[in-house]
Structure 1
Amino acid sequence: MTDSMASLLPVALEAAALAHDLILTRVPGAVTAKGDRDMASEVDYAVERAVRDHLRELTPSIAFLGEEEGRTGPAESGLTWIADPVDGTANFVHGIPLCGFSLGLARDDTPVLGVIDLPFLGARYFAAQGAGAYLGDRRIRASTATSLTDAIVAIGDYAVGPDADNARRLALTGLLASRVQRVRMLGSAALDLAWAAEGRLDASLTLSNNPWDMTAGAAIAREAGAGVHDARGAPYTLAADSIIVTAPGLTAQVRELLAEAPPPA
């Protein structure tokens, strides 16, 4: 990790503290529809604006991409902050505590830093390239599982929208159900990736890729020693169509299982 990257982690942690306080102290408020069964709350917008302003003041040369209001700032440095102000908004709106704030930093298409704050669980995960992954002051490592029959595996949400095709997701769910110890759908990609980094989950499989959902978690999981790839087995980048995070001892088995699922539509 370069000195410049190291210096940016405190900035990201300060942004996470801002988000943490807003999520804990505000009710969701009015909900804005973003399409079929997709939504943003008033808190989503408030967090994104507060974090964007904070980062613009402290790192004006770095671009910013937020889920709700898009991209701002210069592109010359090749660095972009990428934020999901409330990952798991549906959970948040329904009072389910499995939701949180995700802020990653990407150099071009590669995640290099991440912070995930889960306010209702009192957990803050962070990592920077070459510096390890942490939950608070404790270093974390991916699971040591070596058999799918012993594995707890999370799968990402099913797709919504008029053109949603869940055939591959449903097939993958069936394959997992027949082989792993348990399948979980938790409703927050950031939480899935953080828990895979910590070893609470043995794998996390998501057959979609929005950069605001994945950048922070990909950086944290890699630093925790997990395998972080796309569904084809290539190293994960923001240009991927999926993100597959596995305990190192499960990577080959998960790849074989994915090969049995129908190809993408």
Structure 2
Amino acid sequence: MDPMLNMAVRAARAAGDLIMRYVDRVDSLKVTPKGRNDFVSEVDRQAEREIVAILHKAYPDHAFLGEEGGRQGLARGDYVWVIDPLDGTTNFLHGFPQFAVSIALLHKGRIECGVIYDPMRQELFTAKRGGGATLESRRLRVTRQNGFKGALLGTGFPFKDQRQMDAYLAMFRDLAKDTAGIRRAGSAALDLAYVACGRLDGFWEIGLMPWDMAAGILLIQEAGGIVTDFEKGDKFMETGNVLTANPRLHALMYETIAPHVTDALRFKLPVAAEPE
């Protein structure tokens, strides 16, 4: 395994072990609201510190962009680790077993490796640019689903920014017409990993953050999928808007949501952020 990817795996597993120590003690945790429908627990912060400590020891010249710690350090070699220590905090706090650790490494803005670790199922998803994507050493490929009939899609509601809800619901309505179903499980990182491994045929969401999606994007790309923003471009890290599936299904999904893409969705959303 690539040394940097191996170190990311080590950090993700360490954070996952820490998270699992608190699974049955959620009621004792200190929880702080960060914004509308957005919470952080002391587990999030501890897990991020654990990840940063492991990676910083190995790569002291690298910078970090974390959900809880923000930007840390100056990347002299243009390397930035993008970290979500607990994607699905609300699920975790409610005992809903759908959350994960997500770690990606960017070099000059390009995602080079990614790890998503589900500590509940002990499932490890990894990807290396040009080296493919795996789940526990099994090579991943997106599904060959070529139409909506029988397709299972994933999504996430724009719960932090209600201004986009009407556009989102219109997309949801039209995509739901002919599919086998749409799932909203509450962890974008795992949703993207599930597209990469074929558990979901496609996924879309409004207003994600870089740490929500960086690792998952590379997983899907290395598994043969297409990832774009809502205008079929590559500005998903800037806009926070993601549309992904295999090439054929992606085209159909794009045609379906395009009439509902408002001007506000064509530009960077206030809730989105990008690595500096």
* Kept in 1: contact 2:201–2:245 (CA 8 A): yes
Instruction: Find out whether 1:206 has 2:202 as its counterpart.
Output: no
TM-score normalised according to structure 1 size: 0.93
Partner of 2:80: 80
Cα RMSD after superposing both structures:
1.6
Aligned length: 260
Which secondary structure does the structure 2 equivalent of 1:150 belong to?
coil
CA distance in 2 between counterparts of 1:133 and 1:244 reads: 19
SS of the aligned residue for 1:74 comes to: coil
Q: Does 1:220 align with 2:224?
A: no
Runs of 4+ in 1 over 4 A off after TM superposition: none
User: Which residue of structure 2 aligns with residue 9 of structure 1?
Assistant: 5
On the 8 A contact 1:39/1:90 being kept in 2, the answer is yes
- Which residue in the other structure is 1:18 paired with? 14
State the percentage of identical aligned residues.
36
Shift of 1:262: 4.1
Question: Is the 1:207–1:231 contact (alpha carbons within 8 Å) kept by the matching residues of 2?
Answer: no
Could you say what secondary structure the match of 1:209 adopts? Answer: coil
1:236-251 matches, cutoff 5 A? 237-251=236-250
The residue correspondences of 1:15-164 to structure 2 (distance < 5 A) are 15-26=11-22, 27-28=25-26, 29-160=29-160, 164=163
Partner deviation per Cα, 1:39-97 (whole Å, 9 max, x = no partner): 01111011000111111100111111110111112223222101101001000000001
Q: Using a 3 Å threshold, how does the CA distance of structure 1 residues 198 and 113 change in structure 2: closer, same or farther?
A: same
Counterparts of 1:34 and 1:138, CA distance in 2: 38
The one-letter code of the counterpart of 2:226 is G
Residue ranges of structure 2 left out of the alignment (5+ in a row): 265-276
Secondary structure of 2:186's match?
Answer: coil
Gaps of 5+ in 1: none
Counterpart of 1:211 in structure 2: which amino acid?
P
**More displaced 10-residue stretch of structure 1: 18-27 or 105-114:** 105-114
Residue pair 1:150, 1:181 contacting (<8 A) in 2 also: yes
Secondary structure, aligned partner of 1:222: helix
